[in-house]
Structure 1
């Protein structure tokens, strides 16, 4: 990521709070992102759905 850019959150595909700029990723990529410290959305809780708690 470049200087001054914010980190995204991981969302489930059906999350209404995800916004308009979405990029689909695989389950493995989502788990890796959560493991790397990218936050899970507080609304749709993809970490719970993926069993990554």
Structure 2
């Protein structure tokens, strides 16, 4: 079950990698909406990881 959790984290990072690659390779402009979405997604990953860690301690 643990590997399924790690896989889902990597799947959530795909849009972030896509945005970074488009900026670096295609010289696309990054928008405020992209930055906001990336920040919110990363915050969600951190919060969900903390929740799983807290659940393991109990």
Flag whether TM exceeds 0.5 (same fold).
no
More helix by share: 2
Larger radius of gyration: 2
TM-score (norm 1): 0.29
Provide TM-score, normalisation by structure 2.
Answer: 0.27
> Which structure has more RCO (C-alpha within 8 Å, separation ≥ 6)?
1
